[in-house]
Structure 1
Amino acid sequence: MTEYPRLIQKTGITQSPWALWASVNSSYKLSPSYPSVLVGPASLDETKPEALSVIRQCSTFRSGQRLPSMTWCGTGGSSIWRSSQPKVGLQGNRSPADELYIRHIIESARGANAMRCGLKILDLRPKSSALANRTGGYGYENTSNYSNTTLQFCNIQNIHGVRDSYQKLCNVCSSRSASDVQWNSLIEDTRWLSHIRTILAASWETAYWVHVWRIPVLVHCSHGWDRTSQAACLAQLFLDPYYRTQHGFGVLVEKDFMSFGHPFHLRCAHGEGRSDVKNNSKSSSIDEGQISPIFLQFLDCVYQLVQLYPNAFEFNTQYLLILSFHVYSCRFGNMLCDTEREREIMASIRQRTYSIWDYLESKSECLNQSYLKSEGVMLMPLPTVLRNVKLWKERHLKFTPKPSTMIGPSLPSNVNGSN
């Protein structure tokens, strides 16, 4: 993957603290839902048996074998890592290999930045959810076992809460009886915008610790492929102007959603029928409880940033709107299947289908005419970000039965008394 060498080179460090691991997950033998190429601390050489043993044992201690892997790095040891939850359980299980692996990340970052040390863990779930997962053998890190780490919960709801909220939003937006006098209250009551704010807050927090404190940040949820992909991507949009270009945004989504195993087929039910409630029959092999608009929710968050920073993005909201529909169209191969491994198994699906990114880049109406190329980080105060969140009308009101957008002049031409 060419993106990781670009990131490592961008740090300007002659001897990078991070290393490209090309063999540890080749053929997806370590983690079937991870990309074949991973990035880890350079102090763990994947070709040496001792280091390889640490990597494998760390992977075993994480749900789905999704060990911490670097997805972005900046100067001075700052970096973003992603993983799944640890297998702590009710007994408070420990893994010396997992603890050692985290120490390697901290020591590598410390070597690149002598002023800072430590690692921030952002558990994207509500603490109550993380605690409940201990009954299933999982949970969250006990920072007393991980030296120089701090833990923070971010309260992002799971796929079920998102699905329920989106269904309520759809009902309000498509209702003919909804009271327009209480429109804003009805929208807020769906909690869709509240979920958007929570995700943006966690992403901002990630970018803040990376940019201001120059330390590595580990983000994870339960499986590490829904909320983790959202927060990791959005944090990188705050930090890296390359990802705010058309080409860079495609690279970002390919890296943190496609390659890191966001289950598009499972969440979007591609090509599947739906349950026939009337006849109590089911034409789908998908568990409908697993369907959830996670990627659409991510695009909604990006929409909020595009509105907030109108000159910072090379693409516009039309770009996001088209992408939001084609994630469900099955027209392009990028978003088919659940993992990189599945796309490889299906006889190189990328070579037999069109790319959504080529399609979007060919459409001139997707370009932001007011785009100003910048090398800056976008980190305005968090309250400013959250207080400007609004309904994405072009998407959510596209099929509303009531008129919701102004057409033509808002006032008659003779408003000033002219004849």
Structure 2
Amino acid sequence: MTALRPLSGRSRSLRCSSEKMEGTGSWDVLEWTKLDSASWSGSYSNLDCLLESERIIFEACGVILINTDEAGTLLLSNFRILFLSEGTRKLIPLGTIPFVAIEKFNKLALKVQSNKYHNNENAPTRLLQVTGKDMRIVVYGFRPGTKQRRSVVDALLRCNKPERVWDLYAFTCGPSKFGNTNPKERLLNEYFRLLGKSSQRASMNMIKDGTFTLSNDLWRITNLNSNYDLCQSYPFALMVPKSISDEELIQTSTFRARCRLPVISWCHPGSGAVIARSSQPLVGLMMNMRSTSDEKLVTSFCTQLAGHKGARRKLYIVDARPRKNALANGAKGGGSESSSNYLQSEIVFLGIDNIHAMRESFSRLRDYLDMHGTTSSDGTSSFLRHGGWTWGGGNLSSMSASVSLLGDSGWLSHIQSILAGVAWIAARVAMESASVLVHCSDGWDRTTQLVSLACLLLDPYYRTFSGFQALVEKDWLAFGHPFSDRVGMPNVSESGNFELPIQSSSARSFPSSPVRQSPGSAAAQSSSSSYGLNNYSPIFLQWLDCVSQLMRMYPSAFEYSPTFLVDFTDCLLSGRFGNFLCNSEKERQQCGISETCGCLWAYLADLRSSGGTSHVHCNPFYDPSRYDGPLLPPAAALAPTLWPQFHLRWACPVEPNATETEDQCRAMTAKYSEMKKVTHPA
């Protein structure tokens, strides 16, 4: 491999890190020569920014970060692109991005609109645009005639899209000090909490023996899926009505898409109301197929109301899709329920669009922010652009047109639709003591968003650090949101034949159906295996955006801060940890994720331990005594805004920090603590 490095002192190219390239200065002062890779491969081994097991595999010097007009060195490691400032030799965050966080990259010709490169024959005409899954669009400029860009593109083609899941950096670095405890134990402990059995603690022996089947008066935990034979995308343990037998659960699974039968996600400790989840029923083209076992299971969520003898609670069946989409699914055997078949039920459609609409909306929002931010991938500021798109010095109509583009992206409208649906669900449970069954088509995208957000509103435990982890691990990870497909990473089915034996507490046989594929059928249950953009969609990012909106509405109700959400998102998108690899709990067990990869939760907890309650992840305004019950936001409060800490950090980096008030509060708290030590020494 060949790298390019300037011979002369770096201080001559940029006299200070803030000096801008004007005219031909920045490029003309660089002298170039080829340097054999063997002579530089170890020169960055002592960089303090390198992670454990991270090593540099390529170097390109004198590269320009077009967005901010900075010269520096572009490095490729086995984990990410790194961009070091020419003047300070520090990492530039905008130009540093993990491979897994790259959505796409492509070569461009010079299109910058400013005059800094005018009549400069040495201008960086070889451009490489990198589009990130975290809202950034970065452009690197390479000097012509150096073949640097070609080498970088070749390296990215090898590193950006690994063919096998165990080629990811998470497997290279191993568990390290951020080892993972067994997520199955944590799921059972959360079930025990919901059942009012918190004194019980899960263990691996309990899981191995299948002796975790605890119950209360209404609900029980079943080990029917401990071998993933009932539903491959569901967790090994399921919480179901106590009145329903395992045999009835097996029959019900054949009536639901991908065998994702209705099960309980959360139950109210006082009223007995539940939030349940499933996939769509297989009612057929004529919408007339029925299942008595499914009807019995769903009706069992309508338990008797406490204090009302003989009265049963109401059940709302919430279909997250637009009604027309649900009807269209009938052509493929799916559809929606009929309220006449389910006792005490009402069918409600929320009209939330599918993953493809969300992907396009996210892309339009990213383009809008890049175009109208203070920095842009074309090298200019929105304040300096000419014509109708100018903000600074522009006319009112041009500003209005720019704002309308934000609306055209549809992102905030989608956020509002989700929040409105969630607020409605939470109100039904909290105010009517009604039970709610939520589903979409497959039951792992929109369903997961709605169920987990409703839990967040109803249960203050989920607004703590430990509760947030329990919520994500239960509703997103255990219940099979296809993270590999949605985030755009390789999954198990594309990694070759790789099957580890799965321990089962008992052997069961499941009936086959000539009409519907059996519960154990991989074809019936597995998510799409395409490692392409068609299955990529920022569903989990959208959920985190919704969480940030709730945190804005209730700034004292959450133990964690907006900064925690952003750092959590970055860790997820980086592919550095194993928690969010694969598409299901079963696949993560097959790959031995918890034994071989680092744990995101342990890493974040380690960060917090260094700063205590004054750490940036901790919300200084948290007041649990004030918000010890459900949060029921009124409709008027659900108008969303851009998530500034995430959406604006790349496009508007010089704007006032959205967490500045929190930082000031932490500083005041620390100062007060020091004063107390002085005035009241121990």
- Common topology (TM > 0.5): yes
2:570 partner letter = F
- What does residue 86 of structure 1 align with? 281
2:470 partner letter = V
- What does residue 383 of structure 1 align with? 636
Between the aligned partners of 1:289 and 1:26, the Cα distance in structure 2 is 32
Between the aligned partners of 1:201 and 1:191, the Cα distance in structure 2 is 15
Contact 1:397 1:404 (8 Å CA) reproduced? no
Out of 203, 218, 243, which is 2:437 matched to? 218
Larger radius of gyration: 2
**For the structure 1 residues 256 and 53, does the alpha-carbon distance in structure 2 shift closer, same or farther, using more than 3 Å as the test?**
same
Aligned partner of residue 337 in structure 2, secondary structure: coil
- What does residue 190 of structure 2 align with? 3
Deviation at 1:15, TM superposition (A): 4.4
Contact 2:489 2:531 (8 Å CA) reproduced? no
Number of aligned pairs? 384
- What does residue 581 of structure 2 align with? 336
Identity %: 41
Could you state the TM-score of these two structures normalised by the residue count of structure 1? 0.87
Note the 1:141-290 alignment, pairs <5 A: 141-175=337-371, 176=376, 179-180=390-391, 181-182=399-400, 183-270=402-489, 286-290=531-535
Between the aligned partners of 2:216 and 2:561, the Cα distance in structure 1 is 38
Q: Does 2:510 match 1:309?
A: no
Where structure 2 has 5 or more consecutive residues not aligned to the other structure, the ranges are 1-187, 199-214, 377-381, 383-388, 392-398, 492-528, 609-614, 661-682
Q: Does 2:544 match 1:299?
A: yes
Out of 322, 325, 339, which is 2:570 matched to? 325
Deviation at 1:103, TM superposition (A): 2.1
- 1:393-416 CA distance string (max 9 Å, x none): 22122222x56613799xxxxxxx
Where structure 1 has 5 or more consecutive residues not aligned to the other structure, the ranges are 45-50, 273-283, 410-419
Aligned partner of residue 317 in structure 2, secondary structure: strand
Between the aligned partners of 1:339 and 1:125, the Cα distance in structure 2 is 23
**For the structure 1 residues 381 and 29, does the alpha-carbon distance in structure 2 shift closer, same or farther, using more than 3 Å as the test?**
same
Between the aligned partners of 1:360 and 1:137, the Cα distance in structure 2 is 44
**For the structure 1 residues 316 and 84, does the alpha-carbon distance in structure 2 shift closer, same or farther, using more than 3 Å as the test?**
same
Between the aligned partners of 1:65 and 1:332, the Cα distance in structure 2 is 29
Between the aligned partners of 1:61 and 1:373, the Cα distance in structure 2 is 43
Q: Does 2:221 match 1:20?
A: yes
Aligned partner of residue 144 in structure 1, secondary structure: helix
Instruction: Name whichever structure is richer in helix by fraction.
Output: 1
Deviation at 1:112, TM superposition (A): 8.4
- What does residue 56 of structure 1 align with? 250
Between the aligned partners of 1:113 and 1:172, the Cα distance in structure 2 is 55
2:450 partner letter = A
**For the structure 1 residues 285 and 79, does the alpha-carbon distance in structure 2 shift closer, same or farther, using more than 3 Å as the test?**
closer
Contact 1:122 1:219 (8 Å CA) reproduced? yes
1:208 partner letter = A
Contact 1:109 1:215 (8 Å CA) reproduced? no
Note the 1:367-382 alignment, pairs <5 A: 367-374=618-625, 375-382=628-635
Deviates more, 1:2-11 or 1:364-373: 2-11
Aligned partner of residue 290 in structure 1, secondary structure: coil
Between the aligned partners of 1:76 and 1:370, the Cα distance in structure 2 is 30
Deviation at 1:271, TM superposition (A): 5.2
Aligned partner of residue 574 in structure 2, secondary structure: coil
- What does residue 279 of structure 1 align with? none
Between the aligned partners of 2:347 and 2:654, the Cα distance in structure 1 is 44
Note the 1:95-114 alignment, pairs <5 A: 95-106=291-302, 108-110=303-305, 114=309
- What does residue 12 of structure 2 align with? none
Deviation at 1:116, TM superposition (A): 4.4
Deviation at 1:377, TM superposition (A): 1.2
Contact 2:485 2:530 (8 Å CA) reproduced? no
- What does residue 231 of structure 2 align with? 31
- What does residue 595 of structure 2 align with? 351
- 1:293-316 CA distance string (max 9 Å, x none): 000000000000111100000001
* Aligned CA-pair RMSD: 2.2
- 1:213-239 CA distance string (max 9 Å, x none): 112110011100001111111101111
Between the aligned partners of 2:304 and 2:480, the Cα distance in structure 1 is 26
Deviation at 1:189, TM superposition (A): 1.4
- 1:106-125 CA distance string (max 9 Å, x none): 2x354786454221111111
**For the structure 1 residues 27 and 179, does the alpha-carbon distance in structure 2 shift closer, same or farther, using more than 3 Å as the test?**
farther
Contact 1:247 1:357 (8 Å CA) reproduced? no
Deviation at 1:209, TM superposition (A): 0.9
Instruction: Name whichever structure is richer in strand by fraction.
Output: 2
- What does residue 646 of structure 2 align with? 395
Aligned partner of residue 325 in structure 2, secondary structure: helix
1:358 partner letter = A
Between the aligned partners of 1:6 and 1:328, the Cα distance in structure 2 is 30
